Chain A
Amino acid sequence: MRANTWAGRNKVEVRDVPDPRILNKRDAIVRITSTAICGSDLHLVDGYVPTMQDGDVMGHEFMGEVIEVGPGVDPGRLRVGDRVVVPFPIACGGCAACAAELYSCCENSNPNAGIAEKMFGHPVAGIFGYSHLTGGFAGGQAQYARVPFADVGPLKIESELSDEQVLFLSDILPTGYMGAEMCDIQPSDVVAVWGAGPVGQFAMDSARLLGAARVIAIDKEPYRLQMAERAGHTPVNFDEVDVRSRLLELTGGRGPDKCIDAVGMEATHGSAHIAAYDRIKQAVRSETERPHALRQAILSCRSGGVVSVVGVYGGLLDKFPAGAWMNRALTLRTGQCHVQRYMKPLLQRIERGEIDPTRIITHTLALDEAERGFEIFKNKQDNCEKVVLKP
């Protein structure tokens, strides 16, 4: 089959690889009809997530048709012919984390738990196409994928919704939603979202849906800010204004009640000298992150507010504003999304027309054009917001 693979730093390559087979009893094989490029794929391509290997099949947002199931898959849950969206964290359904609906912390789905443990203290779930640290599972930017624990994660789509309407249930829609949900939004809340990429856009829509009074979008790309503005959110361009001053102006001096970091480890700085510090430390690998958005969110948030982090961080950062965090009674909430928890309720919201996931799609390409897709998405060419690939 054809698959998009990691071919070294800043390089992906569509190659011929073997077709996937059932390896565990509860596996299913899915013929992929739509897949996508995610912002966190860029961290892999840029070389900031360790343990990638030449030839690893990439991609963790995909959907398709079940063409084979292992002998251990409960036929009441999944059968050949079912149309499914596959969540990016692989979760077993049987451990304490899964029982607590903390699916991205599944205790059994990562065969390389020992590696993850060294990095994170405790292991995390396996993730499709997302380094050997998270299991070494082949990803879904391919014609077919093997899906472990297929009777736990995949969501059956039984209505006539298009792939484009449901594909993002695999990751970015629940991730954005969880970013907003962790904010415990009250009707008077002003919510500021750092990053107007796909996850940021869905975090904004979700914050509004959960009752926020106003939502502010922070980015530097005019087309992304315009996209947020068209959806009813207030744009702030950090290339043009000082973010903290602008946020204080927009909130009567209080600061946003709730702040969402939808940026993560490769934040683009304004002109602060600390930017150079982060870049140098990251370049010599003594700091794996550039935590500028997180710092700014903490320093901007009103006292007693919540800073919710769904942007991806991989390792260690420094110059964390612990004083602001502690002295001003901020709550910091985080997590890779527990996608399985949100798929059904968000599908219902899509069916009711409360969320339109298609609004962020700017490019649809063939799988064989994945290299170009990465290029334009990474470099924000051609007003690229979200790329869907068709195998």
Chain B
Amino acid sequence: MELKAATTIRKPALEVYGFWRDLENLPTFMAHLEQVRTTGDRTSRWTADAPFGKDVGWDAEITEEQPGEKIAWRSTGNADVPNAGTVRFLPAPDGVSTEVHVVLVYDIPGGTIGKAVAKYFGEEPHQQLDDDLRRLKQVLETGEVVRSDGAPWGKRARKEFPQRPAQPLSDAELAKGTDA
């Protein structure tokens, strides 16, 4: 399965590239990622959240990088869901902004995990990636993921529906945390 999405961010390409190249930043805006831990100059360990199931993780390596222009990576070893991705950073015609073009490729396996993954991706996969990029834009242009009263959990709001009523959070809701 191949997913593509693009956004334009009002920041210079080197800054956007730099943020992405620090792979540990990816979970701040990608809804399904729990953690990315850098393990070497070009290698990293990725952990994904449910509904992939618990402890779904894989190692990845950067296969190509051109500062300010491009990063490509792929999973290595025995990944549960073999995947690869490329992100290109292009100067926008306004001379200020950067176009971010992302291509993700997943090799969806059989078995229980495969079914969970297929189901997950069955629910508007392009929407997921679009929303991830929208959050990337928010983080770079405003400093953080924007929260509203109806969708207070930031990137944890994996689906836009259903939402809670748009009224301030109760103590109990606040205790559940807005730290996602």
Contacts and interface: CB of A to CB of B under 8 A. Distances in A.
A96 B142 contact: no
Contacts of A99: 10
Contact of A148 (B137, B146, B161): B146
Interface string B152-180: 10000100110111111111001000100
B115 interface: no
Report, nearest first, the 4 A-B pairs whose CB atoms are least far apart.
A136-B150, A55-B165, A94-B141, A20-B168
Nearest to A19: B168
Contacts of A211: none
Interface in A52-79: 53-57, 72
Interface size classification for chain A = 35 or more
Contact of B141 (A3, A95, A137, A139): A95
B168 A132 contact: no
Interface stretch (B19-27, B77-85, B126-134): B126-134
A18 interface: yes
Given A18-B167, A96-B10, A115-B160, A136 B149 contact: yes
B35 to A, nearest CB: 23
B105 to A, nearest CB: 23
Contacts of A114: 127, 130-131, 134, 160
B147 A24 contact: yes
Contacts of B43: none
Given A92-B141, A114-B131, A136-B150, A146 B168 contact: yes
30 contacts: A17-B168, A18-B167, A18-B168, A18-B170, A19-B168, A23-B147, A23-B152, A23-B178, A26-B142, A53-B150, A53-B164, A53-B165, A57-B167, A94-B10, A94-B141, A95-B10, A108-B146, A111-B148, A115-B160, A115-B161, A117-B130, A126-B146, A132-B150, A132-B163, A135-B150, A137-B148, A137-B150, A139-B166, A146-B168, A149-B142
